Chain A
């Protein structure tokens, strides 16, 4: 078990941590692509990727090599500066998002008592990246996709924050390590038991924040070809793609820590429990994607403003009262 906290030099620790995270994100990206295609295949009662490697395990590697090898093309009339900034801006903050996440006992990048805030603040960068991508491409689908991405993200961040706040009220901290420490190993000791509504709202909003189906209106293929990343080729698209999967990992990790007890689990606590819970949530997200049809855009916003925000507010109020009383 690596113990990053034991490395004395903070700068060295950070560099090591970021290298480890880059490997983690890359490998998980490949794994998630494979998983998603396999799940999609089996739900549609076909095998999914099967030809490259045994049971198609090497397909994502071939995909990645293809993406890396492709020519980067910027459309005529595009704002080149914004156009190429956007994918990088979408991917770079991902590392910061992973830093405060505690994957196991003492297995985190940066110890900070504002870890949750750090994640929520830097997650907002992605919206900016999508906005720039859509605006810079000189493409009407891109622009529409960007507009949708912005309004959706802004709307769904509110209930997301409100549910996070409910957990923060209960635990009295924004430190992800401490939130984990306050929960026990067994499922009935997790926050999801005391905050079931918050968990459901958080998870749904997380699906919407990562622009996953059924809330993938910013990149709705049937209406907007590919939305904000219509004009991107090669690794320009690849970075958006990787960022999307990395963000899925982040939101599922945060959900694991806030509601499912983090790395604690029955019998032997450790990072494996964290990975099991995270991957269970990721599987549910993929299950959602291949089950539900895309929600119409006005419905997306209606669900948020008319249901999630009032419910999250009521939940928060109730939590605050109960915390004060007991």
Chain B
């Protein structure tokens, strides 16, 4: 198998006196072309934003990776999709995610009758282990001062409960304020929308 190398070689200088002249003429023309390019840019519209007076529109933020945020369930946007698998917490290299779960107490298994005396105990199948209590997300905290925005938690979340926010203009004077309660943030954002 041959690999086609699609590399543009720099043209070799032409031979002979006429070739040198032609090369020089080309070079000089390229200088004029260059001036044309910068001249066009000079008159073009500017692409930067005068920050304190203008801000970037959310449309231009595609691809911007802000701090992570929780994604709500499609039918119930106030609760996160999170299934508490803790993958994000374990995979985070900076250890900036802390999750707490509410565990409902498991329903008590039904009382089995004592085997009557004299009877041989029935070989019963052992009772299935009591079901684990239903878990729900109680706290999802992000310490943004530690986060390196590596995106590992977002890519590993099996239910797509995490994504990068578009929270751009954010500055704090105190490190404490960089701790975010993402669950509260999700609820707040839903309330703001409704």
Contacts and interface: CB of A to CB of B under 8 A. Distances in A.
B169 interface: no
A199 to B, nearest CB: 15
Interface of B: 24, 31, 34-35, 37-39, 41-42, 44-48, 50
A291 B46 contact: no
A290 B38 contact: yes
Interface stretch (A41-49, A69-77, A159-167): A41-49
A291 B48 contact: no
Q: Chain A binding site: helix, strand, loop or mixed by DSSP?
A: loop
A42 B38 CA distance: 9
B50 A42 contact: no
Interface of A: 39, 42-47, 50, 287-288, 290-292, 307
Nearest to A290: B38
Given A39-B42, A291-B37, A291-B38, A46 B47 contact: yes
B50 A50 contact: yes
A45 B38 contact: no
Which one of A43, A50, A287 has the greatest number of beta carbons of chain B within 10 Å?
Answer: A43
Contacts of A288: 35
Contact of A46 (B24, B31, B35, B46): B46
18 contacts: A39-B42, A42-B42, A43-B38, A43-B41, A43-B42, A44-B41, A45-B41, A45-B46, A46-B47, A46-B48, A47-B48, A50-B50, A287-B42, A291-B34, A291-B37, A291-B38, A292-B31, A292-B34
Contact of A45 (B31, B35, B39, B48): B48
Contacts of B34: 291-292
Nearest to B45: A45
Given A291-B35, A292-B34, A47 B50 contact: yes
A308 to B, nearest CB: 12
A293 to B, nearest CB: 9
Nearest to B35: A291
Contacts of B48: 45-47
A46 B45 CA distance: 9
Nearest to B53: A50
B35 A287 contact: yes
Contacts of B50: 47, 50
A42 B35 contact: no
Contacts of A42: 41-42, 46
A307 B46 CA distance: 39
Contacts of A39: 42
5 closest pairs, A vs B, by CB?
A: A46-B48, A291-B38, A45-B47, A43-B38, A42-B42
A287 B41 contact: no
A46 B47 CA distance: 6
Contacts of B42: 39, 42-43, 287
Contacts of B46: 42, 45-47
A47 B48 CA distance: 8
B44 A287 contact: no
B101 to A, nearest CB: 49
Contacts of B31: 292
Nearest to A42: B42
B93 to A, nearest CB: 35
A287 B39 contact: yes
A282 to B, nearest CB: 15
Nearest to B52: A51
B121 to A, nearest CB: 86
Given A46-B47, A292-B31, 8 more contacts: A42-B41, A43-B41, A44-B41, A45-B46, A47-B46, A291-B35, A291-B37, A292-B34
Nearest to A48: B46
Contacts of B35: 287-288, 291
